[in-house]
Amino acid sequence: MRRLVHLVFQPASRLVRLMAGEKRLVIDPHQAEDAHAHMPVFTDLDGAECFGLWAIVDHLEGAYPEVPLVPEAPAERRETLRWLDWSMYVLNDHVTKKIVYEKANPRFTGAPSRSTPDMNVIRGGREALRELMPMLGKTVDQHGYLVSRACTLADLALAAHLSDLDYFGEVPWDTNVPLREWYMRMKSRPSFRSLLADRVPGQPPMSHYAELDF
């Protein structure tokens, strides 16, 4: 069976799980024992090992092209990869790391260990998220999804982060209807089922986390 060694609250790991789900691949996920190792790690049926998000994305798109997640059309391809890059760097640095990586047990994120969350850092992440949500809502309202009327790798990348944040109740969905409706469509996809089943000891999700209609 295909094997994935991952960190539950690491967005890159969540994105790989969503990709596998979209491509209808059965994987055997294992929480990493060493949270500071190069994660995620994917092992395919033929024994091929891929270390890190970019290697796994390239492998899955090349080895399983039946369900493409990066469009062939040049303009849409560029936009998809731009959103992927934005999610994994800009959104990650300005929002996810400041909220999820502060609130979650470092064992599940790979973040450095700390005694207590820094509320100043968390407040900064919350403010950054509030500032970004109008732009995200406008984009999905215009296209249906981030790039077009089809779900792409861009949507999965953004959803990986927002699902992380939503686990801790950190997304003010009521302030942005288009983004809320987009996320409802995303978490209604079969690929999302494994993420919605996530539970970690001592840190249960918000009550609405697994509800498809909030």
15 and 107 in a single domain? The answer is no
Question: CA separation (Å) from 16 to 170, 204, 208?
Answer: 22, 22, 23
Residue 161 near residue 91 (C-beta atoms within 8 A): yes
Q: How many domains is the chain partitioned into structurally?
A: 2
CATH of the domain at 106: 1.20.1050.10
Return the percentage of the chain with pLDDT > 70, whole number: 100
3-state helix, strand, coil in the chain (%, to 5): 55, 10, 35
Q: Residue 112, preceding bond cis, omega within 30 degrees?
A: no
pTM score of the predicted model: 0.96
38 and 80 in a single domain? The answer is no
CATH of the domain at 41: 3.40.30.10
89 and 163 in a single domain? The answer is yes
Query: Which pLDDT belongs to residue 19?
Result: 98
E strand or H helix that includes residue 13: helix 11-22
Query: Which pLDDT belongs to residue 137?
Result: 97
Query: Which pLDDT belongs to residue 166?
Result: 98
98 and 52 in a single domain? The answer is no
108 and 57 in a single domain? The answer is no
33 and 104 in a single domain? The answer is no
DSSP code for 50: E
Whether 93 is in a domain gets the answer yes
- Structural domain including 159 reads 74-196
Q: Which residue, among 88, 71, 89, has the nearest Cα to 80 in the 3D structure? A: 71
191 and 89 in a single domain? The answer is yes
Using the predicted structure, report yes or no on whether residue 11 has a pLDDT greater than 80. yes
CA distance 194 to 52: 20
DSSP code for 200: B
Whether 211 is in a domain gets the answer no
Query: Which pLDDT belongs to residue 214?
Result: 76
Q: What's the pLDDT tens digit per position in 58-69?
A: 999 999 999 999
Whether 43 is in a domain gets the answer yes
CA distance 42 to 50: 5
Whether 140 is in a domain gets the answer yes
Question: CA separation (Å) from 120 to 74, 116, 117, 124, 126?
Answer: 42, 12, 9, 6, 10
98 and 188 in a single domain? The answer is yes
Query: Which pLDDT belongs to residue 101?
Result: 95
Half-sphere exposure of 75 (CA within 13 A, CB side): 2
